[in-house]
Structure 1
Amino acid sequence: MSLPESLSARLRARRPARSARGFALITAGLVAAIALSGCSGAVALDPAADATNPSCADVIVRLPDTVGDQPKRETDAQATGAWGDPASILLHCGVASPGPTTLPCDNVNGIDWIRDDSDAPLYRFTTFGRTPAVEVVLDSGAVSSSSTLVDLATAVGSIPQTGQCLNVDDTTGTATPVPIPSDAP
């Protein structure tokens, strides 16, 4: 056996070891990448009825990476957003625009929100005077509603406002805030 033949034989004999070692390194790299990406999967949500509205796409591309100090999560439904682990803030774009109501209405950074706290500590905020509407559900035990709505104002503000909330006392002398559409008589 000549020297080049023996080298070639030794190299061929070592290839499986190198391949196994390379495979082990690649596998270890993939396992590390999966571990570093976190254990949290996508948040399972259902899309709103009008989630395909182009205005929702404008909202979704403007969603911040952090809301109320909670990191953004991946969702599995169109026109949705989620933050926190476990998710403590959920957003749906494309919900029905609410009409006049006796629920409180809060203006936060130029966005009118109807507040439903009947399921406290879960609070439901729905934009008023914007079509499609955006709904945000948050766990008030985990995040502040005011910081959450401030953080979302830029994204939600991409939908033009067509009406505004007015206090009932502006029209009737009572102190309960009631949203009134801008085109109402």
Structure 2
Amino acid sequence: MRRRPPALLAFAGVVLVAGCSATIPTTVAPHATDPVCADVVLSTPDELSGLERRDTNAQATTAWGDPEGAIVLRCGVEPLGPTTDRCVTVESPDGTSVDWVVTQGDSEDDDGAATFVTYGRVPAVEVRVPASVRAQHSTSLLIDLGAAVSRTEKQRACL
């Protein structure tokens, strides 16, 4: 048996460690097992607003950006009922239209993040955008998510 030099083994270990990216911690949504969620997540872009996709630790989720302040998408959140919260329709150039209810956090716990939850779609999809990301990137990222999110069933629309 031929032995490899220790320096070569050390180099191989460095290459393996350097190739790993940080996993973004998040929580699984209550309806994440809905088969449509797998389709939604697999259909999301590899890059969003110039941020690269990152691995997450929960089913039916994906993220983009740095672990300290990543955009996180969770599919299978509880669908929203009628609401007086701000509801906006985001239309993509291809004609895809998705309604989102927008909430902007102001407590220390959510660090000023904005949360967008699909309105009238089952399963519902949530996108959390940290304040640090919103300051540098446009919320046009919702346009880029339209094709993936539109795979959910539309049952209602914003008024």
Q: Report the TM range for the smaller structure's normalisation.
A: 0.7 to 0.9
Listed as ranges, the matches of 1:8-47 within 5 Å are 19-21=3-5, 23-35=6-18, 37=19, 40-47=21-28
Tell me if structure 2 keeps the 8 A contact 1:122–1:137: yes
- The structure 2 residue matched to 1:123, chosen from 93, 99, 114, is 114
Q: Which runs of 5+ in 2 are unaligned?
A: 92-96
Aligned counterparts of 1:87 and 1:49: Cα–Cα separation in 2: 23
Q: Which range is displaced more, 51-60 or 138-147? A: 138-147
User: Per-residue deviation at 1:20?
Assistant: 4.1
Runs of 4+ in 1 over 6 A off after TM superposition: none
- 1:75 match: 56
- The structure 2 residue matched to 1:100, chosen from 69, 82, 87, is 82
Aligned counterparts of 1:141 and 1:45: Cα–Cα separation in 2: 18
TM-score (norm 1): 0.73
- 2:145 match: 152
| AA at the equivalent of 2:71 | I
User: Per-residue deviation at 1:45?
Assistant: 1.1
Quick check: 1:87 aligned with 2:69?
A: yes
- 1:170 match: none
For residue 122 of structure 2, give the secondary structure of its aligned residue in structure 1. coil
Provide, for residues 116-175 of structure 1, a one-character-per-residue CA deviation record: whole Å limited to 9, x for no partner: 114373101000111110001102432335222111111111112111000xxxxxxxxx
Provide, for residues 53-107 of structure 1, a one-character-per-residue CA deviation record: whole Å limited to 9, x for no partner: 0110110110111111111110010001111113331111000110111111111
- 2:126 match: 135
TM-score (norm 2): 0.84
Q: 1:79 to 1:145 in 2, by over 3 A?
A: farther
Larger radius of gyration: 1
Pairwise CA RMSD of aligned residues?
1.8
Tell me if structure 2 keeps the 8 A contact 1:89–1:139: yes
Aligned counterparts of 1:46 and 1:25: Cα–Cα separation in 2: 40
Tell me if structure 2 keeps the 8 A contact 1:66–1:72: yes
For residue 55 of structure 1, give the secondary structure of its aligned residue in structure 2. helix
Aligned counterparts of 2:77 and 2:33: Cα–Cα separation in 1: 11
Between Structure 1 and Structure 2, how many residues are aligned?
147
Q: Which protein has the bigger helix share?
A: 1
Q: Which structure exhibits the higher relative contact order, with contacts defined as CA atoms closer than 8 Å and separated by 6 or more residues?
A: 2
